[in-house]
Amino acid sequence: MKKDSIRQTLESLGIPDDLPDVVLEPSTEWSRARARRIENMTRKRARKGLSVANRTKVLTLAIFLVFLAVVGYGAASAGWQQILTYIPGFGIRPMEEEARVLAQPLSVEEDGWLLQVSGVHATAANTTVNLRMRPPEGHRLAPNDKRVSDRLVHRPTLMVEGMTLEPNSLSMAFGQEWVARIDFPPLPSDAYTVQLTIPEELGRHWNVEMALEVAKAEDVFWHSHMLADIPVAVGTLVTDQEVVVTVQVRLSDTPALTQLGFSSLGFSECRQENMSNPPDVHPSVERRELALPVRLLVGEERIVPRWCEGYVQGDVRYLEYRFALDGEAAVELVLEVPALVMVEPLSTQFIVPVAASGSIQLDKSVSWGDHTLILTHSERREKSVRIYLEQPDDAAYPLVELDIKTLSPPEVTGSSYTTDRETGRVMFLELPIDDPVQEVRLQLSRPHWLVEERYRIELAR
Amino acid sequence: MTADETKLYQQLRAGSETALAQVIGHFGPVVYALTKKVLGPAAEADVEECVSETFWRVWQRIDQYDPNRSTLRTFILMHAKYAALDGRRYSRRSRDKDPCFLPQAAPPMVDTEERQRVQHALDSLSTLDKKIIYLRYYLDQSIKVIAKEMELSESAVETRLWRSRQKLRVLLDESEERGLVT
């Protein structure tokens, strides 16, 4: 019970019998005429079996039937079969005609340097190759390395059936490694083996052979959710070895400030070691790259993605996560989605009384923008002062990190700690003050908020 | 459930449109008031559409109603709430442009004992706090709207909600331990 929010508890109980008496004024607007109108509308629906919610489905079906009639059942059926596919490195997406993809991810190591080809997507229009190059452990990419990479003096090429294909365009991102997405002209229609050559790049010559196969339609299930105010579509695909989750966010549906968090998505990526960090201080928040770290919970066990990647298609931002998961015949998973929401910087000031020793009950609330902090108590410690606070369960965006400094005593910088990792709503502020002050005047500010929403998705395996 | 409600329920199950009209006449005012409250400022036609949706859902799902668990009124109000929340969401999203946003289903109701236990805890709150809890958690009103309606500051509403939740937690934990059924 303690872990459940009150909202969940109350929700599951349905509507209390006395709710109308407590909350609702008797409607003076109800009339016989209105009753008759509603009765007629309801009767019509009851006869047609058509609800507002079903209208969309019916409309979709109608459009599909018209489509069938226009293009013919055979073609439509084929199109339907090809509607979705999963392409590693490109995510779950509508299937292109005659798409070929990398049969197996490739990794080649040389002198501690690692070249990975994470995905290939070849259509009649073009061929895209995703790759990344990681230096040996301890080696940091020198500015010179970056400069060379940036220019890519020696451009990668594709060799296929005796032809050499030069890249049309190349996009890159840097970090501890460099990541590239390279667009080439289309491959010959019968080519299933291609050689990728990266001559003399970063002092190394890479030559890898890539096997391609025809992309297959997959059993992708789509779920739709509201993430705070952001509508997201979540596609899940379960294979024998992994669970692939693709979160799709349409920028035009996203509040303007939050768009900042998504707009920077290009080649944002994270590896397992990044994702194993606690969710409340996710490194991607710092880098503002990956806006939606996603975890899966299997029972009590939290599983971090072994791979995740962001990519862009027009107005839509995709975030793809791949979780290694095998063993169970059937599992029930909880998908957690904490989202970075960029909002205006905010700051507030308030005074907190401090005891000479021990603690003082505060039970005081502080309004901060659209939010409220409940200051529960302050505590005098040996060399510091702690101020405990909670955020209401129904706060839209729980705070996870605060910038804290004091105005009195002057210029003491504090830190915030989340004590309740489950919800992130219980915190204390630690201020290194050992003077015998009776009160502290605080200024809080924060660069961003984190939103955390959870929902359950059942995955049959 | 009263004898009248039992009769209405049986007739609804049998597919009687006359019973549907009686249900609308009987529960219409309270469903209308609740829908209007959840929808907020909405056109009259939208409210009526939503009320009609509620009764349509009741008509469609009357088989799911269990008279041993709740009254017919509770069952109808539950559907009214969810129909209204769906309506509000549709109007916010404008627009039906994304068919992904399917209506949310009403959650399954828990058993009568549990309901009584929670109702008992809710009854221990002051009328004002209870009203705030209902507005916030059942009708999904924003803090701002509640503050305006109750003529309180938003901060006061937050604080009252917080205190009420603490109190409910304690009461529910205690009653769970004692197995209290009132």
ipTM: 0.71
Mean pLDDT of chain A: 67
Calculate helix-pair angle for A32-48, B44-60, nearest 10 degrees. 50
CB contact under 8 A, B100 and A231: yes
Which pLDDT score, from 0 to 100, does residue A290 have?
39
Segments in chain A below pLDDT 50:
1-4, 50-83, 144-151, 256-291, 329, 339-344, 421, 447-451, 461
Say if residue A186 is in the same domain as residue A260. no
Q: How far B33 CA sits from the closest chain A CA (Å)?
A: 5
E-assigned strand segments in A95-192: 100-102, 106-110, 113-122, 127-134, 157-160, 163-165, 169-174, 178-184
Q: Is A9 on the interface with B (CB under 8 A)?
A: yes
pLDDT, tens digit, 9 for 90 and up, residues B75-98: 888 888 878 877 776 665 444 333
For residue B2, the chain A residues in CB contact (below 8 A) are none
Give the per-residue pLDDT at A194.
92
Where is the domain boundary, A214, A247, A276?
Answer: A214
Domain boundary among A62, A81, A100: A81
Predicted pLDDT of residue A354: 92
> Which H or E run contains A403?
strand A403-408
In a domain, A43, yes or no: yes
Q: Is residue A385 part of a domain?
A: yes
**What value does the mean pLDDT take over residues B154-179?**
77
Asked if residue A461 belongs to a domain, the reply is: no
pLDDT of residue B153: 82
Of A360, A412, A397, the C-alpha closest to A280 is A397
Q: Which CATH number fits domain B110-182: 1.10.10.10, 3.30.1960.10, 3.40.50.2300, 1.10.645.10?
A: 1.10.10.10
pLDDT at A411: 85
Interface mutation vs chain A, best among B56, B161, B165, most A CBs within 10 Å: B56
Asked whether residue A206 falls in the same domain as residue A99, the answer is yes
Sorted by sequence, the CB contacts under 8 Å of residue A241 that are 6+ apart come out as A324, A325, A326
Please identify among residues 163-202 of chain A the ones whose CB lies closer than 8 Å to any CB of chain B.
none
- The residue ranges of every structural domain in chain B are 1-105, 110-182
CA distances from A390 to A3, A428, A432 (A): 15, 8, 21
Residues in chain A: 461
Tokens of A423: 């919800």
One of 3.40.309.10, 3.60.15.10, 1.10.1740.10, 3.40.50.620 is the CATH number of B1-105, namely 1.10.1740.10
Do A201 and A98 share a structural domain?
Answer: yes
**Contact (CB, 8 A) for A87 and A198:** no
pLDDT tens-digit map of A412-454: 888 777 665 455 567 788 898 988 889 999 888 764 444 455 5
To which residue do tokens 């009357």 refer?
A: B62
Spatial CB neighbours of A73, under 8 Å, sequence gap ≥ 6 = none
How far is Cα A425 from Cα A280, in angstroms, rounded to an integer?
11
Size of interface A-B (CB pairs under 8 A): 185
In percent, the amount of chain A with pLDDT more than 70 equals 47
Summary mean pLDDT of chain B: 75
User: For residue range A126-166, what is the model confidence (pLDDT) as tens digits?
Assistant: 898 888 777 777 766 555 444 444 445 567 889 988 888 98
- pLDDT at residue B100 is higher than 50: no
CATH code at position A168: 2.60.40
List the single range of A109-123, B59-73, B103-117 with lowest mean pLDDT: B103-117
What is the span of the domain harbouring residue A427? 346-449
Whether residue A392 and residue B158 make contact (CB cut-off 8 A), yes or no, is yes
Assigned domain for A159 exists: yes
Question: Does A9 reside within a domain?
Answer: no
